[in-house]
Amino acid sequence: MLSMNLVNYSYLIAAVLFILGLKGLTHPRSAVRGNRLAALAMLIATVVTLLSGDFEFKYIIIGIAVGTIIGVVAAMKVKMTSMPEMVGLFNGFGGGASVLVAGAALISAMALAAGHEANTQMKVATVASGIIGSITFFGSYVAFGKLAEFLAVKWKLHLWQKIIKYGFSLAVIAGGIWFGIASGITPYSIGMMASAVLIGLVLWIKNARFPGMDALKIVAAILAVGLGVMVVLNPGNSMLFWTMVGVAGLLGVLLTLSIGGADMPVVIALLNSYSGLAAAATGFVINNNVLIIAGSLVGASGVILTKIMCKAMNRSLVNVLFGVMGPTSDTPDADEVYKTVKSTSADEIAMMLDTAQRVVIVPGYGMAVSQAQHAVRDLANLLESRGVSVEFAIHPVAGRMPGHMNVLLAEANVDYDKLIEMDHINPTMETVDVAIVIGANDVVNPVAKTDPGSPIAGMPIIDVDKARTVVIIKRSLSPGFAGIPNPLFAAEKTLMFFNDGKKAILELIEAIKES
């Protein structure tokens, strides 16, 4: 058994390593080492904790073994295009762990502290950890479900999607009712059961929004805080805590369910921040510095990413969480806007690229959906071998999570020096001969700058409209997330290549090779 001093010094080392690890992530060259330093810090903290007392290791070993197997399999199997779902899912597990630790700490404090009550700090922190953790857990599950396209959708689901969707719903309902009955029927256990049933039902429905949803969010938020106060005043009644967790979970579900696809980067970043804050709150529950430090680092990182994402869409966080984005009454009619659309072929684009000197490729979510990143890389290499300068222009909210496009292009071996941020590429867009937009829409819609009444007014865009020629690769003229037509598609200098992203690029490569 290690002395308490040694344990605390080791925690200090772990905390320093976490900070150095994150610092490593500020550059691609040092990032791999940074991540491993953070992992080492985690290992040190865990091992030291295991050696710090007399423990019964049965449950610990089972837990770590099961968790490691699931974690390794998930991390090795996941495709890079599914990374947003995976991060969302892992995030949820972090939040869930915080709730359970707070709940277990409450139960054990009540049992062990027979006589002297837990102090206020621990009670308040338990409440914070329970509420934030539960919002994170259920919110992350919803984010995962929406990204994996099985929650709040009307189309037919694959078998595995059905199993997860209905299995999770039923598990929440059944688990809630079983736990409520097993703990004895009281007004609070009925409240807990009711919130579990509500969560299950809301997750079952095929709509992202329903009447009264916003009101229900507010009621759930007030109830969760109210119950939190009651837990602080009366910590002996652990059912109060679980009712609070249930209501907070309902809030997490409602808050995330109504959020549209293009706002997902904000939500994932926000949930990331919550999972950190939940861990920090757990640190206050058990008086542990390393939890507080690691948790607040993560909390800060999530907050910054959330801010960057909101800024990149020119929307406030409240607007993302509560607002509806969609066409307004004065949105121009799509047929009217698209009267002068010109469709093109691979051969025609190949001819244009033959004389081009500078080409910029603008990827969007469509590139991820059609898994076109490798084909896009081949195209870029082919053009470069012919002396054309090729760059990639990356919009901060392109894709479904911060940095989504960068990861896909890195997977395809595109050098990160070639990925240019929006602010850096925009001033030179005039000198671009051909801009190729793959599966992006709203982030290149010039209406954001010209029409103050449009739902995307003020959102910074990549100025492809300034390039000499614009090629848009898109399956159809269907609108993007904002639901408004894009006049760029019908502009004089724009050519539309209607095709699946990957097929289009492959055809284009063939055409260039033949020319």
Partner 1 sequence: METLVMILTVFVLAIFIGFEIITKVPPTLHTPLMSGSNAISGITIIGAVVLAGEIGNPMLAKTLAMVAVIFATINVVGGFLVTDRMLKMFKKKG
Amino acid identity, position 37: L
Looking at the Cβ atoms of 301 and 344, the one nearer to partner 1 is 301
- Please identify, using beta-carbon distances, which residue of 19 and 351 lies nearer to partner 1: 19
Sign of the alpha-carbon dihedral angle for 122, 123, 124, 129: positive
Q: Which of 90, 498 has the CB closer to partner 1?
A: 90
Nearest-approach distance from CB 293 to partner 1, in angstroms:
4
Among 421, 431, 450, 515, binds partner 1 (CB under 8 A): 421
- Report in angstroms how near the CB of residue 328 gets to partner 1 at its nearest: 31
Per-residue binding string, partner 1, 98-117, x by CB under 8 A, is x-xx-xxx-xx--xx-----
Could you say which of 117, 354, 415, 510 contacts partner 1 (CB under 8 A)? 415
Judged by CB under 8 A, the residue of 2, 8, 13, 50 near partner 1 is 50
Those residues with Cβ within 8 angstroms of residue 74's Cβ, 6 or more apart along the chain or in another chain: 86, 89, 90
Among the listed residues 147, 294, 353, 477, the single contact to partner 1 using CB under 8 A:
294
Residue 21 backbone phi and psi in degrees, to 5: -60, -50
Q: How far is the CB of 25 from partner 1 (least distance, A)?
A: 5
Kindly state the smallest distance separating residue 223's Cβ from partner 1, in Å: 23
Q: Are 67 and 61 in contact (CB under 8 A)?
A: no
Question: Which residue in 411, 428, 449, 498 binds partner 1 (CB under 8 A)?
Answer: 411
Q: Which lies closer to partner 1 via its Cβ, residue 122 or residue 221?
A: 122
Q: Among the candidate windows 37-45, 149-157, 193-201, 353-361, which touches partner 1 by CB under 8 A?
A: 37-45
Stretch that binds partner 1, among 17-25, 376-384, 432-440, 497-505 (CB under 8 A): 17-25
143, 227, 239, 394: which one contacts partner 1 (CB under 8 A)?
394
**Residue 315 burial (CB < 10 Å; 0-12/13-18/19+)?**
buried
Give the count of alpha carbons within 13 A of 69, CB side only. 5
Position 42 contacts partner 1 (CB under 8 A): yes
- Per DSSP, the residues of 384-414 read HHTT-EEEEEE-TTSSSSTTHHHHHHHHTT-
Identify the bridge partners of residue 363 per DSSP, sorted by sequence position.
Answer: 438
CA atoms of 453 and 406, how far apart (whole Å) = 32
Whose tokens are 């984010």? That residue is 143
Q: Give the integer Cα–Cα distance in Å for 444 and 71.
A: 38
User: Minimal distance in Å, beta carbon 84 to partner 1?
Assistant: 8
Examine residue 192 and tell whether it contacts partner 1 (CB under 8 A): no
Number of residues that bind partner 1 (CB under 8 A): 112
DSSP 442: G
Report yes or no: 152 and 146 within 8 Å, Cβ to Cβ: yes
Closest distance of CB 233 from partner 1, Å: 19
In 330-440, at which residue ranges do the beta strands (DSSP E only) sit? 358-363, 389-394, 419-421, 434-438
Query: With respect to partner 1, which residue has the nearer C-beta, 28 or 458?
Result: 28
259: which DSSP letter? -
302 binds partner 1 (CB under 8 A): yes
Locus of tokens 């007399």: 54
Angstrom CA distances, 257 to 26, 233, 264, 373, 444, stand at 33, 32, 11, 29, 27
Taking CB under 8 A as the criterion, the residue among 1, 4, 46, 222 binding partner 1 is: 46
Q: Is 442 tagged catalytic?
A: yes
Taking contact as CB under 8 A, which single stretch among the options 44-52, 330-338, 436-444, 505-513 is the one that binds partner 1? 44-52
Catalytic-role residue among 214, 333, 433, 442: 442
Question: In angstroms, what is the minimal distance from the CB of 61 to partner 1?
Answer: 9
CB of 418 to partner 1, least distance (A): 10
Separation in Å, CA 271 to CA 10, 99, 140: 29, 14, 7
User: With CB under 8 A as the contact rule, which of the stretches 27-35, 247-255, 346-354, 364-372 interacts with partner 1?
Assistant: 27-35
How near is the Cβ of 322 to partner 1 at its closest, in Å? 24
Please list, in sequence order, all residues whose beta carbon lies within 8 angstroms of the beta carbon of residue 256, skipping any fewer than 6 positions away: 138, 139, 140, 142, 143, 146, 267, 271
CB of 278 to partner 1, least distance (A): 8
Task: Spell out the residues 6+ positions from residue 489 whose beta carbon is closer than 8 angstroms to its own.
Answer: 337, 338, 341, 472, 474, 477, 496
The residue (of 32 and 222) whose beta carbon lies closer to partner 1 is 32
Q: Does 55 bind partner 1 (CB under 8 A)?
A: yes
Distances (CA, A) of 272 to 19, 52, 493: 17, 30, 42
Instruction: State both tokens at 376.
Output: 């896009």
- The answer to whether 59 contacts partner 1 (rule: CB under 8 A) is yes
Closest CB to partner 1 among residues 53, 226: 53
Strands 389-394 and 419-421: parallel
Give residues 62-101 in contact with partner 1 (rule: CB under 8 A): 62-64, 66-68, 70-72, 74-76, 78, 80, 83, 86-87, 90-91, 93-94, 96-98, 100-101
d(CA 462, CA 291): 41
Which helix (H) or strand (E) segment is 121 a member of?
helix 120-147
Footprint (CB under 8 A) of partner 1, residues 223-282: 268-269, 272, 275-276, 278-280, 282
Cβ-based nearer residue to partner 1, 99 or 484: 99
x/- contact string, 116-135, with partner 1 (CB under 8 A)? -----x--------------
Shorter beta-carbon distance to partner 1: residue 138 or 497: 138
* Those residues with Cβ within 8 angstroms of residue 205's Cβ, 6 or more apart along the chain or in another chain: 152
Catalytic machinery residues: 442
